[in-house]
Structure 1
Amino acid sequence: MKSTDSAYYQNVPRPIGAMSKAYASASVVPMHRHVRGQLIYAVSGVMEVISSDYLWLVPPQRAVWMPPGVEHRMRARGDVSLRTLYIHPDVFPEDFSSFPRTVQVSGLLRELILCAADIPVDYDVDGRDGRLMALLLEEIQWSPEQPLRLPSPRDQRLTRICEAILANPGDDHGLEGWGKIVGASSRTLARLFQAELGVSFRCWRQQARILAALPRLAAGEPVTAIAADLGYETPGAFASMFRRLTGAKPSQYFPH
């Protein structure tokens, strides 16, 4: 049986070391970093990944690339079956490997990740296992980047607002209402959202709501209940926004 200790894979004598590990709901992996780059993929369930700059939720259709040396922490949203690839820093070109990103997981990439987890760490580079690993590296680089992530603020006023929305995504306060709570004008807050997060308040909240929907969809909750809780007037309005941000209908994203 292969190790479930991530430290073991940092110095394996091959370009890729693949680890399988299960996490119970609400399990937390504290802030840490790796010598190798890390592709984080949840075969089932949803894993939350947080760095100093962004928050990602990783459902089975997506994976997160975390470059070497970037601090991050993780939390399981429900029971999660995770596959993690630890990839040598010299494998990918710098323009790909230097920045965290979300990549789309095709059917082929998913199967390659699952195969990699069963391949010995000292696989034959020139044999079948080596060819599978080489194809896996190609597929990761060719996978389209997905913009489904939330930028994290540094301003304390924005932090209060964003943390409150993450705790209650259905909150319908506008910037004027939030301004009264945090002691800033709506104009100041609008400027800070654009300056620090690169998006408007409305756009950030929409992304937060869609991300909040993912673990609930994964658990099989009805779309009507999720839409109502997240502040959408109709399930259709929620489905339209979900499709705009993810490229799929809610019913297609987590088929049950």
Structure 2
Amino acid sequence: MNMSKETSLPPVETGFIEDSSRPVISYCAEVKNAVCAASHAHPRAQVIFANRGVMRVITKENTWLVPPAQAVWIPSQVQHQVYFPGAVSIRNLFIDSTAAASLPEQCMVFNVTPLLRELILRVGETEGRMERSHLTARLMQVILDELQQIKPARLNLPMSDDVRLHKIMVNLIHSPDDNRTLDEWAQTAGAVSRTLSRLFLRETGMTFGEWRTRLRLLEAIDRLSQGQSVTQVAFDLGYQNLSAFIAMFRKTLGTTPGRFFQTLEKGRF
């Protein structure tokens, strides 16, 4: 990720609006190769969500790669920073502190249910035109009810700020079909494979192979949710045949791609 070529974005002013009569305020934007100018916090809690593109969200304790199937919950006054490596359609929600009082106190990645996704998109369409209407007020309340149900996602992808790992991770994010072994990555990363192996476990809690599989899973979920076929996704992600992809999916999640989306809708992952 070449930081010098990224657009620097100031903190969104919406996060600093304190108005209990507007419990939920939507923020929509189209960005490309951008990054928040600096780590920041604001009085409003935030749902960081994009219905297109992948984000990298950083807090003091965690760094996550977030596809459109997921979002990040950031409580009030929690320092965070977001990178947008590519074209991203931002559809964030800012929650007034009074409305967020009963919502989770910890940051988390969570799966976005189809209902919540449609609510976020709908509020984004009406924000600014109908913000005081009864319709928008009802939508806001349903959103708050949905946020009461969120739980940490079983699937998330921890990142690392270690320069050597970061180089590998960014390359794989852009080319998840890359099948190079850790030994083959060693020269690119500037460290021997044994060191890289230890770093992956220490920084992410996963082996290199487990991390790459998790990346491919998240990428697969994103692509399948956009209507791509299982066969197309399998080959695009570097699998030699469809059976190998389905076997990986079943081994990791205990189910097939089709059945996974049924359980995802019920919030089990």
Q: What TM-score results when the alignment is normalised by the length of structure 1?
A: 0.72
**Does structure 1 residue 40 correspond to structure 2 residue 48?**
yes
Contact residue 41 and residue 62 of structure 1 kept, 8 A: yes
Contact residue 26 and residue 93 of structure 2 kept, 8 A: yes
CA RMSD after TM alignment: 3.8
Question: Which of these residues, 7, 19, 22, is aligned with residue 13 of structure 2?
Answer: 7
Alignment of 1:44-193 (within 5 A): 44-51=51-58, 53-59=62-68, 61-67=69-75, 68-75=77-84, 80=89, 82-89=90-97, 91-92=99-100, 96-99=104-107, 101-114=108-121, 116-117=123-124, 118=126, 123=132, 132-193=139-200
CA shift digits 1:112-149 (9 cap, x unpaired): 4345443679759xx78656534422321312321333
TM superposition shift of 1:235:
2.2
Distance 1:237 1:93 in 2: 46
Report the equivalent of 1:201.
208
Contact residue 29 and residue 75 of structure 1 kept, 8 A: yes
Contact residue 31 and residue 73 of structure 1 kept, 8 A: no
Alignment of 1:207-246 (within 5 A): 207-213=214-220, 216-217=223-224, 221-242=228-249, 244=252
Distance 1:160 1:114 in 2: 34
Distance 1:56 1:248 in 2: 23
Instruction: Give the 3-state SS of the residue equivalent to 1:154 in structure 2.
Output: coil
Instruction: Give the 3-state SS of the residue equivalent to 2:72 in structure 1.
Output: strand
Identity between Structure 1 and Structure 2 (%): 30
Structure 1 unmatched runs, 5+: none
Contact residue 64 and residue 157 of structure 2 kept, 8 A: yes
Structure 2 unmatched runs, 5+: 1-10, 262-269
Contact residue 103 and residue 146 of structure 1 kept, 8 A: yes
TM superposition shift of 1:11:
1.4
Contact residue 35 and residue 84 of structure 2 kept, 8 A: yes
TM superposition shift of 1:205:
0.8
Contact residue 13 and residue 122 of structure 1 kept, 8 A: no
- How many matched pairs? 242
Given the superposition, is the C-alpha separation of residues 113 and 174 from structure 1 closer, same or farther in structure 2, using an over 3 Å criterion? same
Q: What TM-score results when the alignment is normalised by the length of structure 2?
A: 0.69
